[in-house]
Amino acid sequence: MWQTLYPGDAESLQGAVRDMMNSLYRCDFSVLKLYAGTSNVSTSYIFGWKTNKVICSEPLCNAYKRDEIGLVKGDVCEKCRPRDIKDLERECKKYPVVVIKDVRVLDLGVLVPLIKDPSLHLQVIQLFRDPRAVHNSRLKSKLALVKESIQVLRSKKQTDKYKRLLMPSNRVNRAENYVSSAMELICDNWLNDMILAANAPHWIKRNYIQVRYEDLVLHPVEELQRLYRFSNLTSFPTIERFALNMTHGKGYSSEKPFLISSRDAKEAIFAWRERLNVEQITQVEAYCSEVMRRLGSLRHRRGGQEEITMATEEQEH
């Protein structure tokens, strides 16, 4: 959607994101036609279809059984024939719970009307991660994220601070400058979300929970059980074993951070230390100091001392 509405700024697009999610949660996928550039939208176009369990499972496709738990392989799903989105809508309505991952909601406040809507019963799980790790991942895809970063920066262009960020001095590394500058705004938005959640009324707090990526991958079973309790669902051993296997694999390829595979979670957490230079680390720590403090992140210590960069002790929930 962001690409379709470029160069619209991120802030002005938040309402459109909320309205789209409102439709999707009701299993109305016709809204996707507004941004696809065509009315002929099929299952081989949406929702990361190559690794989407519902699209690749019976009855839409016989690649997987509906109750089978495991990693969905893209080369297997590619063999599924495209289905009309009406077929997917009918299948969606069979499920008592609909889960949508969204990385374009920059303001928790835009979801408040949906949380308040009794017909949706929306519950929000907000995932946070060490900003240095997020920055490292974004830099790996910096060319693909240039437009998005500009849209984020334009949402705050009225202040001198953000005008500075929109005009990078180094033209040689302009893509990296835009992505790096956007990280400052992302942390600002995270902090606003944290403050909103801390001061929200009870009816929001009971439908909202924060999760640290580091806790999720280091203690997957415990965190998964916590999320299931929050959602009034029952966890079961098969999915817990799957979560454990996905976070306790062998090795981690920092060259392919978005590859879905079983990995060593500890290596994934600290991969940024191998890739970011001192200047980049210092910059993010300056931008995101308050967010890092609230997340329990510690500043990167140098000079031969032991490096401890994230407080990962199990928290009380």
**Residue-range domain boundaries for the chain:** 28-96, 125-295
Query: pTM surpassing 0.75?
Result: yes
- Give counts: helices (H), strands (E), the chain: 17, 2
Asked whether 135 and 182 are in contact (CB, 8 A), the reply is: no
Length of the chain: 317
- For residue 291, name the pLDDT band (cuts at 50, 70, 90): very high
Tell me if residue 65 falls in helix, strand or coil: coil
Q: Give residue 8's pLDDT band: very low, low, confident or very high (50, 70, 90).
A: low
Residue 304 has a pLDDT of: 38
Residue 168's CB is within 10 A of a number of other CB atoms, namely 17
The secondary structure of 252-316 as a DSSP string is: --TT-TT--S--BHHHHHTTHHHHS-HHHHHHHHHHTHHHHHHHTB-PPP-TTSPP--B--SPPP
Provide the residue type at 112 as one letter. Answer: V
Cα 266 to Cα 252: distance, rounded to the nearest angstrom: 9
Q: Which two tokens stand for residue 156?
A: 């705050």
Band of residue 185 on the pLDDT scale cut at 50, 70, 90 = confident
Q: How many whole angstroms separate alpha carbon 233 and alpha carbon 239? A: 13
Which residue type does 181 have? S
Q: Do you find a cis peptide bond into 131, omega within 30 degrees of 0?
A: no
pLDDT tens, 91-140? 999 999 999 988 778 889 999 999 999 999 999 999 999 999 988 887 77
Mean pLDDT for the chain? 81
- When pLDDT is cut at 50, 70 and 90, the band that residue 142 belongs to is low
DSSP 136-169: HHHHHTTTTTHHHHHHHHHTTTTSHHHHHHHS-S
Q: Would you give the distance in Å from CA 98 to the centre of its chain?
A: 16
